[in-house]
Structures are given as structure tokens and as C-alpha cells.
């Protein structure tokens, strides 16, 4: 069997593993196996690609795989769940950087027009993904301000950058021997990645992460065309398409268009201060226990605050104790809860919460009127009734989990500080809401001790 045939068979096997792995990632019950299938597919693709190179020195390649694998393993083990969105942003950025370098390395004196176009695309999309992901990382980690960064004439600057990119790309394809045009495209692509993400507020980061994930796939696909590698084309297409689909799901969950998310930072958004009537009614963990002890139906709504408090394991303990007490317990998962798509699912899966207890927003909302107690753990914007009640609110019209419809609502927060979107939450002042202040992990641990 020839090396060429073995290589192509390897690409077919790798593509099949990618597809099966992606399918498995669609369900929390099979996501771990899907990740393993996809990783195995990538290993097969790498080995097949190396076989296709003929006689090469594998010393540095093997060394790079070992060092990279070790770094990845240590990082995956060490990263806190609160930092998972930042890691995903960095992964997207590194994928973009890799595509930029692969496209650049494919440039040769005898490159045809089609090859030059694919090289420009891989460099352009890869550069935008790299710097855009770094800005997203900075916003998520709060190393830079999480709010939208805008300035006068921003649209004009962005338009000039885009015109410069297009002009530089055309001139490079016409004069590939002049490297200055390529350097111009690379520089402007890196600049545009920054300019595209800075006007997007932190509350929209789940959309940005999924979109940048799509960009990294599209960049890989273009790089695959540039070096004529079928496995890279398939893998990039899958990532690009799935990222776009996920982006649309995120936008639908916020009842906003993608263009509104990307460009609303340029607009003058009405953000009048919401006038909230009522008073805060605190409750202690001891008193909350008596209410929960009598409950027969409890809904738990997790948010980013649960990740910060690392409370997912003690929440699982409370769930088990409530069930032993004859109570039905479900979790309401909003698509944009946390700071990346599926953030709450990852947290609860780590604590081995049964998958059939995780209900999406459309499933939990019709049941909310029959819920005795809704426990909101660190969520804010995704349970904010202003989205339904206050037309002047920036999130008006966004679908939220209707916890205010439950008979009693416990909100676990450290303080009265607003959520990531910086919006006042009328839920805290509702007649049926009780505020349980303090560290969420400690508060729930107190409830666990009371039940025990």
C-alpha cells in the first residue's frame, strides 16, 4: 500500500472521528466521549500529514508534540472553572495564530492566484481571530475593562481599516513578490481584531467566544486550501459551521441579531436608570432551611457566581438531601449564563449532577409557577425581570428564566452589586424574594448541615 493511499485513508478516518465527536458534543451525556473521539481524530490527522511529507527529521516534531501535550495537560488540570472562558478564548486565539503561520508558510514564488487568495484569507481571518481573542481574554479576566470601549469616529476608523485590508490583499495577489503588501495585510488584520472586539460589552462575551471559535475554524479551512490538506479543510469547516450555529443560538437566547451584538457598541443605547420600588428582605440560612424543608418542588438557577464560589459540589450535596426529603429538584440553565456557551453545564457535570435534571430555559419556564422555591446562585442578568417589565432597560425583550413566578425566591449573592451587564435587577425587591447574603458555598454548606 502506497504512502499516498495510507495518508488519504488516514484523513478519511480522521474526518469521520471529527464528525462523530462533534455529534457527541451535542449532549452533556456523551460530551466527554466526543472530546476523546475528536482528539483521536486530530492525532490520526497529524500522523497522516507527517507520513505525507516523505523523508523529514521528526526529532523536533516529536519534541514539540511532547512539550505541547505536557503544557496542555498541566493547563487543563490547573485551570479553575472560573477561568475556563479565558482559556477557551486563548485556545481560539492560538488556533488563529496557527492558521496565520500555516498560510504564511505556504507562500512560494510559483503560487497561483487561487493559492494566493486562500493564503490571504487564512492570514486575514487568523490575524483577526488572534487579537480579537486576546481582547476577549482581557475582558473575561478583567485585566481590561469588561465594558464596551468606544470613541468618536470609530466607525470611520474601522471602515478605513477594512478598505486598507481589501486594498492590501488585492495588491498582494497582483504582486506576490513584494512582501510589503503581505505585511500590510497582517498588520491591519491584527488591528481589526482589536477594533472589532473592544466595542462589545462583557455581557455579550458568550456570543463573541462562539463567533471567534467559528473564525478559528474558517481560518483553518482556508489554511487547508492553501496547503492542499483535506483533513484541515474538513476540520476547519466543521468548527466554522458549528461555531456559526452556536453563535446564532446565543443571539436567539438574547433576542438580538448578530449585527446588534457586534455593532451596538457604536450606537447610543438608552440605559436610563431603572426605578425600583420595594425593599430588600434578607434571610438567614437557618430560616431558609425551614422553607426548603417544607418544599416539594425546587428549581436551582446557577450563574457565574456559582463558579466564583466553586459551589457546584456542595450544591450537588444539597440536591441529594432535598431529594431524600421527598422534594423534586431541577436546574434551570440559561444559554448565556456564565461567560461562555455551556459554562453552567460544565460546572454541574464536574459535580456529577444527573443530566436529566438540567432543563433548558424553554423547559423550566412553563414549570416555574409550580415551583415552591427557586434558588438563584450567582445569576443576575439571566433572571432579571426587567427584560419583561422595563421597556427602557438595555436587556428588554431578552428571554430570561422567570424565577419571579415561583412561590418563593432565594437569591444567593455576596452583595447588592449589579451583574456583568451592570443593570439593576428588580427581582431583588419582589415580595416573594429573599436575599441570602454571603459566600454561596458557605451559605449552601450551612443548609447542608441543617438537613444533615
CA distance 259 to 262: 5
Please tell me whether residue 87 adopts helix, strand or coil conformation: helix
Q: Provide the pairing of β-strand 433-437 with 358-360.
A: unpaired
CA distance 188 to 220: 19
Q: Which of 352, 324, 330, 348 is nearest to 452 (CA)?
A: 324
CA distance 102 to 122: 8
CA distance 318 to 327: 11
CA distance 68 to 199: 33
Residues belonging to the active site:
381
Q: What is the DSSP letter of 75?
A: H
CA distance 293 to 290: 5
Cα–Cα distances in angstroms (integers) from residue 7 to residues 44, 154, 410, in the given order: 10, 48, 58
Task: For 289-318, give one letter per residue: b (16+ CB within 10 A) or e.
Answer: bebbeebebbbbbbbbbbbbbbbbebbbbb
Q: Which of 9, 10, 65, 15 is nearest to 233 (CA)?
A: 15
CB 410 within 8 A of CB 434: yes
| Residue 111 φ/ψ, nearest 5 degrees | -65, 135
Amino acid at each position: 500500500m502506497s504512502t499516498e493511499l495510507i495518508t488519504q485513508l488516514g484523513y478519511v478516518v480522521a474526518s469521520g472521528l471529527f464528525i462523530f465527536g462533534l455529534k457527541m458534543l451535542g449532549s452533556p451525556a456523551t460530551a466527554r466521549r466526543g472530546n476523546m473521539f475528536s482528539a483521536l481524530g486530530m492525532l490520526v490527522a497529524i500522523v497522516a500529514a507527517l507520513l505525507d511529507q516523505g523523508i523529514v527529521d521528526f526529532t523536533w516534531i516529536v519534541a514539540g508534540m511532547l512539550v505541547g501535550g505536557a503544557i496542555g495537560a498541566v493547563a487543563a488540570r490547573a485551570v479553575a472553572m472560573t477561568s475556563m472562558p479565558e482559556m477557551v478564548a486563548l485556545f481560539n486565539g492560538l488556533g488563529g495564530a496557527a492558521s496565520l503561520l500555516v498560510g504564511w508558510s505556504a507562500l512560494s514564488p510559483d503560487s497561483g492566484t487561487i493559492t494566493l487568495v486562500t493564503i490571504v484569507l487564512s492570514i486575514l481571518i487568523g490575524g483577526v481571530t488572534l487579537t480579537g481573542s486576546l481582547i476577549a481574554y482581557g475582558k473575561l479576566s478583567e485585566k481590561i475593562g469588561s465594558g464596551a470601549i468606544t470613541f468618536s469616529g470609530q466607525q470611520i476608523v474601522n471602515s478605513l481599516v477594512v478598505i486598507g485590508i481589501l486594498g492590501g490583499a488585492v495588491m498582494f495577489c497582483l504582486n506576490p513578490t513584494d512582501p510589503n503588501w503581505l505585511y500590510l495585510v497582517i498588520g491591519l488584520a491584527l488591528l481589526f481584531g482589536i477594533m472589532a472586539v473592544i466595542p462589545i460589552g462583557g455581557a455579550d462575551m458568550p456570543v463573541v467566544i462562539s463567533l471567534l471559535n467559528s473564525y478559528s475554524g474558517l481560518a483553518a479551512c482556508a489554511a487547508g486550501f492553501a496547503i492542499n490538506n483535506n483533513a484541515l479543510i474538513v476540520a476547519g469547516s466543521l468548527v466554522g459551521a458549528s461555531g456559526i450555529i452556536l453563535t446564532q443560538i446565543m443571539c436567539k437566547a438574547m433576542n438580538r441579531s448578530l449585527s446588534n451584538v457586534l455593532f451596538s457598541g457604536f450606537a447610543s443605547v438608552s440605559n436610563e436608570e431603572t426605578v425600583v420600588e420595594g425593599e430588600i428582605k434578607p434571610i438567614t440560612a437557618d430560616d431558609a432551611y425551614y422553607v426548603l424543608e417544607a418544599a416539594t418542588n425546587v428549581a436551582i438557577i446557577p450563574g457565574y457566581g456559582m463558579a466564583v464560589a466553586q459551589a457546584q459540589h456542595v450544591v450537588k450535596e444539597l440536591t441529594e438531601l432535598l431529594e431524600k426529603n421527598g422534594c423534586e429538584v431541577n436546574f434551570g440553565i440559561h444559554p448565556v449564563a456564565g461567560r461562555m456557551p455551556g459554562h453552567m453545564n460544565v460546572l454541574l457535570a464536574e459535580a456529577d449532577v444527573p443530566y436529566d435534571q438540567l432543563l433548558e430555559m424553554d423547559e423550566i419556564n412553563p414549570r416555574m409557577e409550580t415551583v415552591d422555591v427557586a434558588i438563584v446562585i450567582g445569576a443576575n442578568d439571566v433572571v432579571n425581570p426587567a427584560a419583561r417589565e422595563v421597556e427602557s432597560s438595555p436587556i428588554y425583550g431578552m428571554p430570561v428564566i422567570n424565577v419571579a413566578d415561583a412561590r418563593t425566591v432565594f437569591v444567593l449573592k455576596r452583595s447588592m452589586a449589579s451583574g456583568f451587564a451592570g443593570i439593576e435587577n428588580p427581582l431583588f425587591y419582589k415580595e416573594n424574594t429573599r436575599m441570602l447574603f454571603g459566600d454561596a458555598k458557605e451559605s449552601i454548606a450551612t443548609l447542608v448541615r441543617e438537613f444533615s
